[in-house]
Amino acid sequence: MNARAGAHPRARRRSLIVAALLLLALAALIGVAVGGVTLSWADLFAGRGEPATTARLLASLRLPRVALAALVGACLAVAGAALQALLKNPLADPFLLGTSGGAATGAALAALAGASPLVSPGAAFAGAVASSVAVAALARRGGRLDLQRLLLAGLIANAFFSAVLLAVFSVASVEAERNMLFWMMGSLSGSSWTRAAALVPYAAVGGTFLLLFAARLNLFVVGEENAAALGVDTERAKVQVFLAASLLTGAAVAFAGVIGFVGLLVPHAARAVAGNDQRVLLPVSGLAGAALLVMADAASRAAFAPAELPIGAITAAVGAPLFAWLLMRTP
C-alpha cells in the first residue's frame, strides 16, 4: 500500500456499490425461491403449464415480501451506519438505543387507535424521535453523550417500551398475541406491494439526506469538536442526522416491527470491506442491509417450514454474539 492508494475514491466507490448490488440481486433470487414451498429456477422462469402458474402465484406473493425486506434492511442499516459515525460510537444502533422500541410503540398506538396503515410511519417516526430525545437527554453528561450512559439509557427505553406494548395489547386487542409478536420481534408476513410502496418515500427522503451528509459525517468520525473546527454547524447537524435516522427507523418499524441488530451488524461488516469513508459506507451498508434482511427472511420461512420464525429472532441470533464481541473490543 502506498500514499496513492485510494487516490481514486470515486472509482472505488463505484465498484464497491456494484458488488453490493450483485449481493442484493443474489439475495433476492434466494428470497423469491425459498419458503414453505421451494421453487426451482426452472419453475420460476417457465412460461406455461400448471407448475409455472403455481410458481408465478408464489412469486407474486414473495416478490413484494422480498422488496419490503430489502427496503426495511436498507433503512435500518443506513440509520445504524449514520448514528455510528455521528456519535463516534461503534455500538450505536437504532435497536440498542431504543429508537426502534419508540417507533414500535408509536405505530402500535396509532394502529390501535384505528389509524390507516399509511400514516403509521408518521406515528412511528414521532415515537422514534421522542425516544431519541429521551435517550440522548439521559445519556448527556457534562455537555457530551457518554457511551456507557447511552447504552444504559437505550436499555431503559427498551424495557419501558416493551412494557407499554405488552400492556396495550393485553387489554385492547383480540389479536393481541399475533400483534405483539409482530411489533416486538418483527415480521414480514403481511407484505404487499402497497406496503412496500408506502415505505419508499420515507426511505428515499431519509436515505438521500444522509447520503448528502456523508462527507460531514466523515468529520464526526474523528469527533464532534473536529467537525466544528472544520466548519460544520454541529448542533444543527446532530439534530438533522438524528431526525433522518429516526425517520428511516420509524418507517422500517412501522412496516416490519422491531428487527434488532441489523443497524449494528451491517455497518461493521461493510466497514471491514469498504473502509470508513461514509460516502462509500452508507450506500454499501444500505445495499448489504437489504441483502441481509432478504436472506434472514428467507431463513425465517425455510428453517421450520411451514411454521415461520419471527425475523427478529434470526437477526438477534446472529447479532447478539457479534454485539458481545464488539463490546469486548471497545475501549
Cβ pair 104, 253 in contact under 8 A: yes
**Closest approach of another protein to the CB of residue 225, in Å:** 5
C-alpha cell at 262: 441489523
Phi-psi domain of 45 (left: phi exceeds 0; alpha: psi -120 through 50; beta: other): alpha
Smallest separation (angstroms) from another protein to the CB of 231: 3
Return the number of the residue (163 or 215) whose C-beta is nearest another protein: 215
**Interacting residue with another protein among 11, 194, 233, 239 (CB under 8 A):** 233
Question: Nearest-CA neighbor of 288 among 264, 308, 311, 305?
Answer: 264
113 binds another protein per the rule CB under 8 A: no
Nearer to another protein, 70 or 280 (CB): 280
Q: How far is the CB of 260 from another protein (least distance, A)?
A: 22
Task: Give the DSSP letter of residue 94.
Answer: T
Q: Which is nearer to another protein, 201 or 223 (CB)?
A: 223
Cβ at position 281, least distance to another protein in Å: 10
**x/- binding map, residues 247-286, to another protein, per CB under 8 A?**
------------------------x----xx-x-------
Closer to another protein by CB, 56 or 88: give it: 88
Please classify residue 196 by burial: count the beta carbons closer than 10 Å to its beta carbon, then call 0-12 exposed, 13-18 middle and 19+ buried: buried
Query: Kindly report the CA angle at 75 between 215 and 73, in degrees rounded to 5?
Result: 125
According to CB under 8 A, which one of 36, 51, 201, 223 is a site residue for another protein?
223
Find the binding residues for another protein in span 178-217 (CB under 8 A): 212, 215-216
Q: Is 149 in the site for another protein (CB under 8 A)?
A: no
The residues in 23-82 that bind another protein, with binding defined as CB under 8 A, are none
* CA separation for the pair 158, 161 (Å, rounded): 5
Span 87-106, contacts to another protein by CB under 8 A? 88-90
Instruction: Give the residue, chosen from 222, 239, 273, 324, that forms a contact with another protein under the rule CB under 8 A.
Output: 222
One of 44, 52, 228, 302 touching another protein (CB under 8 A): 228
Q: Which is nearer to another protein, 207 or 250 (CB)?
A: 207
Write the CA distances from 316 to 59, 113, 159, 276, 320, integer angstroms: 27, 30, 17, 24, 5
Instruction: Tell me if 240 contacts another protein by CB under 8 A.
Output: no
Q: Report the alpha-carbon distance of residue 269 to residue 193 in Å, rounded.
A: 30
C-alpha cell recorded at residue 279 = 460516502
229 binds another protein (CB under 8 A): yes
Phi/psi region, residue 257 (left: phi>0; alpha: psi -120 to 50; beta: rest), is: left
Long-range contacts, stretch 323-329, CB < 8 angstroms, 24+ apart: 323/91, 323/96, 323/261, 323/264, 326/90, 326/91, 326/264, 326/268, 327/91
- Of 128, 76, 126, which Cα lies nearest the Cα of 101? 128
Q: Which residue ranges make up the site for another protein (CB under 8 A)?
A: 1-3, 5-7, 9-10, 88-90, 142-143, 212, 215-216, 218-219, 221-223, 225-226, 228-233, 271, 276-277, 279, 331
